[in-house]
A and B are shown apart, each in its own frame.
Chain A
Amino acid sequence: MNRDQQALLAAIRQSDPKLSRFDPLPRIVTFDDFDRGFCGWTQLVGNYEHSLDAMLPGYAQHSMAMLSTLPQWDFGSHGAFDGSYALKLATKPRKAAQNVTIKRLTFRKRGPIRLEFYFTFKPEATELRLSEADVRSIGFLYDLQTGDQDTDGARIMPHMRFLNAMDGEHVQKWQFKRHTTEVKPIGTENKTISHYHLAPQDWEDLPGGSQKLCYNEIPTKVNWHYICFDFDLETMQATGFRCNDRVFDVSGFDPIRMPAMRNLWCMLNLAFFVETDVAKRANFYIDSVCLSGDF
């Protein structure tokens, strides 16, 4: 793309109010505004064979994301960043409960990709108190695998979470993960395995990753935040991360790496997750998502 083409593309995008708050790479892979529906975001169901009893308990707790107007008992619908609806992911009201929503794609080219999204999070407002340490974390991940002809075959899972609170302490820092649980065979046909990559252990602090986010002053008021995460599918390394006004050094970031699996070639899955720190539902709201690539 020459400079004139780049300038034209930038002008078109910046004049579109929906896109001008994103900084996408040249090709927009998916632009999900939840005023248009669920946009392919679904429940992460665990693997099983013959019986649902085979599903690992971490996955068994997952449920479907919802389209939400962020309705509050004390003033009504909050609404989204733009329009009425955001995607809401809610945990069950049990300490350390988690939930995950996922979108399943494959990639066309191993090169730079950029994930941008606007989000907020709050506990269910069951108490008339600030409750700022009730949500344990919110986060996002990719689940990737190289192509079937690539010589460096591997499954790669970059994870990033904002650890808001742990056991009542208001921590507020970004963390990443380079280990999953032991891979376990599922069923009897030797075709399915499972592991729980959101197990509570093995989170590591992103160097310089402390950040205080706007929480507001009661549990029903929210403010929206921006994230941009750059990843290179060629090197399978993170290349950039920002949240609102802060740009973080990702040279110490490392994804989970494991041997390639038999059915996952060119996989490009995106997922969002939320964890609660108390016996109260934690809600993670995503207004819109833009995934773009340099191809």
Chain B
Amino acid sequence: MLLESQAAVIARNETWSGNVETEPHEAGWAREAIFFVRALHEAIGKPGTARVELSPDGMRWVPEGTVFDLPRKPDEVTFARVKHFGTWLRVTAELPEGASLVVLVTLHLKG
């Protein structure tokens, strides 16, 4: 039996500034996940880092512990690997004042 696998675009051509988060993604069927964040344009300022979050219900969120740099140059890609995450996943970031970034975020699930 082949594993189930899905590549999901979860944020497309979105401009991130200030406090941002991706939509709750339900993936209880998956055993592993990778978030990729791709910069579609040159970042303005220093966008900083993003973090992975978990949730018991898709509405209340807690940090999973993984923190990764956001990309800064066009087509630069950064990523975070996650395992043992329960049912819900998302990525959040707090961009410093004056910083912004246009992103394509994909979530790759396997289980």
Contact with A along B12-53 (1 / 0, CB 8 A): 110000000001111111000000000010000000000000
Q: Which bucket holds chain B's interface residue count?
A: 20 to 34
- Judge if B59 is at the interface, Cβ distance under 8 Å: yes
Are A52 and B40 closer than 8 Å at their CB atoms?
yes
10 A-B interface contacts by CB (under 8 A)? A52-B40, A55-B13, A67-B26, A69-B87, A71-B87, A77-B28, A85-B29, A88-B26, A92-B23, A281-B24
Are A124 and B58 closer than 8 Å at their CB atoms?
yes
Identity of the chain A residue whose Cβ is nearest the Cβ of B87 in the assembled complex? A71
Given contacts A52-B40, A92-B23, A124-B59, contact A71 B28 (CB under 8 A): yes
A92 to B25, alpha carbons, bound, how many Å? Answer: 12
- Top 9 closest pairs, chain A to chain B, by CB: A73-B57, A64-B8, A52-B13, A66-B26, A37-B4, A68-B26, A67-B29, A71-B87, A126-B59
| Residues on the B chain within 8 Å of A52, using CB | 12-13, 40
- Judge if B63 is at the interface, Cβ distance under 8 Å: no
A136 to B55, alpha carbons, bound, how many Å? Answer: 26
Identity of the chain B residue whose Cβ is nearest the Cβ of A36 in the assembled complex? B4
A113 to B80, alpha carbons, bound, how many Å? Answer: 45
Are A64 and B10 closer than 8 Å at their CB atoms?
yes
Residues of B within 8 A of A (CB): 4, 6, 8-10, 12-13, 23-29, 40, 56-59, 87
A281 to B24, alpha carbons, bound, how many Å? Answer: 10
| Residues on the A chain within 8 Å of B9, using CB | 43, 45, 63-64
Are A60 and B56 closer than 8 Å at their CB atoms?
no
- Judge if A53 is at the interface, Cβ distance under 8 Å: yes
> In chain A, residues 49-78, which have Cβ atoms closer than 8 Å to a Cβ of chain B?
52-53, 55, 60, 63-64, 66-69, 71-73, 77
- Judge if A102 is at the interface, Cβ distance under 8 Å: no
Are B27 and A71 closer than 8 Å at their CB atoms?
no
Known pairs A63-B9, A66-B8 / 7 extra A-B pairs, C-beta < 8 Å: A63-B23, A64-B10, A66-B26, A67-B4, A124-B58, A124-B59, A126-B59
A85 to B27, alpha carbons, bound, how many Å? Answer: 11
> In chain A, residues 163-195, which have Cβ atoms closer than 8 Å to a Cβ of chain B?
none
Given contacts A38-B6, A73-B56, A124-B58, contact A53 B13 (CB under 8 A): yes
Given contacts A52-B13, A52-B40, A124-B59, contact A71 B26 (CB under 8 A): yes
| Residues on the B chain within 8 Å of A38, using CB | 6
Identity of the chain A residue whose Cβ is nearest the Cβ of B104 in the assembled complex? A52
Identity of the chain A residue whose Cβ is nearest the Cβ of B2 in the assembled complex? A37
Q: How far is the CB of B98 from chain A (nearest CB, A)?
A: 22
Q: How far is the CB of B34 from chain A (nearest CB, A)?
A: 15
A45 to B10, alpha carbons, bound, how many Å? Answer: 12
Q: How far is the CB of B56 from chain A (nearest CB, A)?
A: 7
| Residues on the B chain within 8 Å of A72, using CB | 57
- Judge if A115 is at the interface, Cβ distance under 8 Å: no
Are B87 and A60 closer than 8 Å at their CB atoms?
no
Q: How far is the CB of B54 from chain A (nearest CB, A)?
A: 13
A241 to B33, alpha carbons, bound, how many Å? Answer: 41
A71 to B24, alpha carbons, bound, how many Å? Answer: 13
Identity of the chain A residue whose Cβ is nearest the Cβ of B40 in the assembled complex? A52
Q: How far is the CB of B11 from chain A (nearest CB, A)?
A: 8
| Residues on the B chain within 8 Å of A69, using CB | 28, 87
A73 to B58, alpha carbons, bound, how many Å? Answer: 8
A19 to B71, alpha carbons, bound, how many Å? Answer: 49
